[in-house]
Structure 1
């Protein structure tokens, strides 16, 4: 009896250690297939960002840090590493951004390339925006005008043309990114919400 108990205890400790060692490779089953999104391992992103080096930080906020990275095929990316993933805040933002960004596809909206959902890690992978954000780079008036119009087009699409319609809820200079041509790209959908359909529209749909 004592031998059996000892064996079970040893096996439990061994399995626990194995889980810790392999934690970067485990993915949640519920997020294995999300459209065309790539399912990254934590190790891939760790290598791409030079182990999340402070030299590669592109931005920081309440959600966590964004790191510049380079994938094995040479593709430049921005990796958002969410914090508080054990609590509700990080997990909520992770799932909200995955769901909302999959609904909205527009040239002036930042698109998601992939994600990593290891047990204690939540990361989102985006294209690298070479010109940073509006918060870090404002140039001449013509460039500012181009940025303003691009951001407005992205928000117009979300509010009026996307189906279902979305509201961003966190529009600020740091969340308007700029590509190689200073084209505005609205990003960070962690606080986005669906716009409730008016009751009269629902009634009309029922009648039809």
Structure 2
């Protein structure tokens, strides 16, 4: 009798243990499935977001590159246009980051970084405009300033002054000195100039030289 009772109790205990183990295994399996589904969903979302950002960035870069196919008539217009394209590219990249299906902190940081880069481009352009406006040589000074970059921002004012000096020297070198005169006679002309030795030229050559000197003197700085 006691033996039968013991066997019955053992059977109940064994059944409960099996049920508990089976339940635990199912719970564990469900937990693993939930985690995997969540991770997979997050991975797919991040992948789609990255693909979208890359696509938008590539489009912006492509639009920036396509401007190289246009031939500008004036260098100043070309420089201004290319500057605006760079700023627009940064804004488009920021916009692409903020339009992600699931906006995350990384996307916000990327957008913020692109906006800051765009602001820096605008500020740099404003500085160059002021530099050109403050000098009689205008954008010639800017060309010298941009062509000779330095790392230390504290030396920026000195850099501007050096750019001004270089532009002045180049501007003077491009012009024929005012002391150059062309003296005419009926048959022989004597060209006297500080920078050039005296040479004898005929009337036709003298007329051409006079015309060239007048043209150069009229060219703005």
Scaled by the length of structure 2, the TM-score of the pair is 0.26
Which of the pair is proportionally richer in helix? 2
Whichever structure has more strand as a proportion of its residues is 1
User: Could you state the TM-score of these two structures normalised by the residue count of structure 1?
Assistant: 0.27
Q: Which has the larger radius of gyration?
A: 2
